[in-house]
Amino acid sequence: MHPTSTAGASIEIEGLVQRFAANTVLDHIDIRLEPGRVLALLGPSGCGKTTLLKALAGLDRPVAGRIAIDGVTVSGDGVFLPPEKRGLGMVFQDYALWPHMTVGGNVSFPLEVRGVDRRERASRVAHALELVGLGGFGSRQPGSLSGGQQQRVALARAIVARPRVLLFDEPLSNLDRDLRETLCAEIGRLLRDLGTTAVYVTHDHEEAFTLADTVAVMRGGRIRQMAAPDALIHEPGTADVAEFLKLGALSRAERTERGWRLDCGVELVGPAAGSAGAPGPGHLLIPPAALRAGTGETLRGLVIAQRYRGGQYATTVRVGAAGQALELALLTDVRMPIQQAVALDVDWSRLRWFPLAA
């Protein structure tokens, strides 16, 4: 595959603030992204992801802070460059294709605007369509294509002018689950092949973790944690982040001399428990990988659900007293009847403790 773009640009965002009336939607955002890296902005609805992307695109003017692309200030210090001067490609949720133009016409448009000659345009459009798996679709009408194909056209249009930064705003959210997974993996591969820097807005952590080198977890207009996917999974910084990323069961608990007393009444006492810090209240994260169906006495519960996935069973086990029970998730190799009693072995090294006092 021949790259359509050579290399991406760096992005620096410093102290970015956006307000709408009295509502502070971005609250001092700082981000540094190296050339060619893919950043996912991940967070619940209304946390400010799209607002941040719009500020980066030049679609909205922030009230404070600075944005630089490849070291050149595009917003802040009295400067505000419009979108067409920022060297970006954009892909939106609703495809935003022009229905009266052919697929080729849609993809060609950014080149026409730039005054690229007809012959060069034809070869670059054909190449961009090849890259997104739509070779030979140039003369079709967008309305005759499936949702997934239309989004591929939008992607071809975004990359055809060889932008050094690509911006994505929930590009897969209108597609069904299988197609989302396929296209997500393909976009990830394409971005790496192109070497383009990308910022990808999503509320879906599977998408973010599949695509991105770095994930910024946002909430309430702030970045709660920004790290590589592995670091977020293994070292979530707060109980909030662990909960949003669905990293496992999160229980309020009391740290004791011997381990933890969970809110559901269960006492977790174990060999490595002593190293987790001072007694007091907090939240304990119990990821699926910390649990194994076994023979131990530490934790006992009842199987309440099982779902087959990829050669194993995602199993839910209820522990604790009725009325305040805690549901734990783990993977098992065998199918178990609902309501079967099960003993769980705990890998203490995989538990994460978030003391309230911290």
Ligand X SMILES: Nc1ncnc2c1ncn2[C@@H]1O[C@H](COP(=O)(O)OP(=O)(O)OP(=O)(O)O)[C@@H](O)[C@H]1O
Which residues are near ligand X by CB under 6 A? 20, 25, 43, 45-51, 203
Six token digits for residue 86: 């920022």
Least distance in angstroms from the C-beta of 158 to ligand X: 19
Phi, psi of 95 (to 5 degrees): 65, -45
Residues whose CB falls within 8 Å of the CB of residue 12, separated by 6 or more in sequence, listed in order: 31, 32, 33, 66, 67, 68, 71
Count, residues in the chain: 358
Q: Which is nearer to ligand X, 225 or 251 (CB)?
A: 225
Phi, psi of 78 (to 5 degrees): 80, 5
Least distance in angstroms from the C-beta of 258 to ligand X: 43
Spell 184-215 as b/e; 16+ CB within 10 A means b. beebbebbeebbbbbbbbbbebebbbbbbbbb
Least distance in angstroms from the C-beta of 172 to ligand X: 13
236 and 242 Cβ atoms separated by less than 8 Å: yes
Least distance in angstroms from the C-beta of 52 to ligand X: 7
Per DSSP, the three-state class of 14 is strand
Least distance in angstroms from the C-beta of 89 to ligand X: 19
Place of tokens 């930064």: 165
Six token digits for residue 174: 């209108």
Q: Which is nearer to ligand X, 216 or 293 (CB)?
A: 216
Q: Which is nearer to ligand X, 124 or 169 (CB)?
A: 169
Instruction: Give the count of alpha carbons within 13 A of 148, CB side only.
Output: 15
Q: Which is nearer to ligand X, 186 or 204 (CB)?
A: 204
Least Cα distance to 123 among 138, 133, 113 occurs for 138
Least distance in angstroms from the C-beta of 53 to ligand X: 8
Least Cα distance to 242 among 193, 282, 296, 195 occurs for 282
Q: Which is nearer to ligand X, 124 or 203 (CB)?
A: 203
120 and 167 Cβ atoms separated by less than 8 Å: no
Least distance in angstroms from the C-beta of 64 to ligand X: 16
Least distance in angstroms from the C-beta of 72 to ligand X: 25
Q: Which is nearer to ligand X, 38 or 56 (CB)?
A: 56
Beta bridge partners of 293: 344
Q: Which is nearer to ligand X, 16 or 303 (CB)?
A: 16
Q: Which is nearer to ligand X, 55 or 266 (CB)?
A: 55
Six token digits for residue 220: 């309430």
Fill in the DSSP letter of residue 161: T
